[in-house]
Amino acid sequence: MEEEKDLTYDPSAAALTLTSMKHEKLDEKTAAKLHQMKTEVRARLQSLNKAKGKALKPTIHVKSAASPTVLPEHGYSIDGTKLPRLPPIMREIIGQCSEPFEKQLTPTDVKDHQCRLALNKDLVKQKLLPMLNKKENVVEGVPVKVFGPDGKGYDMRLCFWSGKVYVLIKGWKDFFHEYGLEAFKHWATIWMFRHRKSDDLCMVITWKYVEHTNKLISSRSRFYEG
């Protein structure tokens, strides 16, 4: 019985045993047992692969006894730390890069039928629009490759809707579903950059998770709202 237990939980041992038995004729009971073991090993490997996949999507958890009440100063994160000048990933392809800004996700940002990330108008004008060239028109929509914290890229478009709001559309729905982003609790940090070789427009979005935040945090100034 001890040998069977080892085979069930050790894929390498199971593989060696099955290889050595490949030319043997098995009775129904033994064949059924081996099939059960194979199913259990496959399920275990799938579980491990899934766990590894989640590990590639890092989230910084901000521990706080209570929800924040006011947005931080410009250039700082919700946890009081200064926003890093450059993204923590993709640095080998980053050319010109914007200064980062932070946005608290809202319910409409993560609704399937909305399919867009709304961005603060003033911050877009200050941080992102200077990154565009003369041929790129946000009214028509500008293609942008958006990278998550694991380096996976999503094709999106930066648009200016009805002369009122700047949004990321197209691949945003897939993005927030892939990373399990939530309204209020997730605070996204956003950079825009030019690809060092192709000069294509790109963005990186990372985030922090503030557990006790269950409402939109107001600010002293409308400049920070988005």
Q: Does residue 44 share a domain with residue 90?
A: no
Confidence band for 191, pLDDT divided at 50, 70 and 90: very high
Q: Does residue 174 share a domain with residue 65?
A: yes
Q: Does residue 66 share a domain with residue 122?
A: yes
Q: Does residue 13 share a domain with residue 112?
A: no
**The pLDDT of residue 72 is above 90:** no
**Dihedrals phi, psi of 86, to nearest 5 degrees:** -120, 155
Confidence band for 116, pLDDT divided at 50, 70 and 90: very high
**The pLDDT of residue 126 is above 70:** yes
Tokens of 2: 């001890």
Confidence band for 7, pLDDT divided at 50, 70 and 90: very low
Closest by Cα among 140, 174, 173 to 158: 140
**The pLDDT of residue 73 is above 80:** no
Q: Does residue 66 share a domain with residue 17?
A: no
- Listed as own residue / partner, the contacts of 142-146 with beta carbons closer than 8 Å and 24 or more positions apart are 142/201, 143/200, 143/201, 144/168, 144/192, 144/201, 144/202, 144/203, 145/195, 145/200, 145/201, 145/202, 145/203, 146/171, 146/172, 146/175, 146/202, 146/203, 146/204, 146/205
Q: Does residue 210 share a domain with residue 179?
A: yes
Q: Does residue 144 share a domain with residue 189?
A: yes
Please, what sign has the CA dihedral across residues 178, 180, 181, 187?
A: negative
State the CATH number of the domain containing residue 176.
Answer: 2.40.330.10
Structural domain that includes position 36: 2-55
Q: Does residue 189 share a domain with residue 93?
A: yes
d(CA 28, CA 35): 10
Return the SS3 of 68. coil
Q: Provide the number of structural domains found in the chain.
A: 2
The separation between the first and the last C-alpha atoms of the chain, rounded to the nearest angstrom, is 62
Q: Does residue 217 share a domain with residue 116?
A: yes
Q: Does residue 20 share a domain with residue 73?
A: no
Element (H, E) at 5: helix 2-9
Please, what sign has the CA dihedral across residues 63, 64, 65, 68?
A: negative
Q: Does residue 89 share a domain with residue 176?
A: yes
* pLDDT, tens digit, 9 for 90 and up, residues 21-54: 545 666 777 777 766 776 665 556 555 544 444 4
* pLDDT, tens digit, 9 for 90 and up, residues 78-109: 888 999 999 999 899 999 999 999 999 999 99
Query: How many angstroms from the chain centroid is the CA of residue 80?
Result: 22
Q: Does residue 65 share a domain with residue 41?
A: no
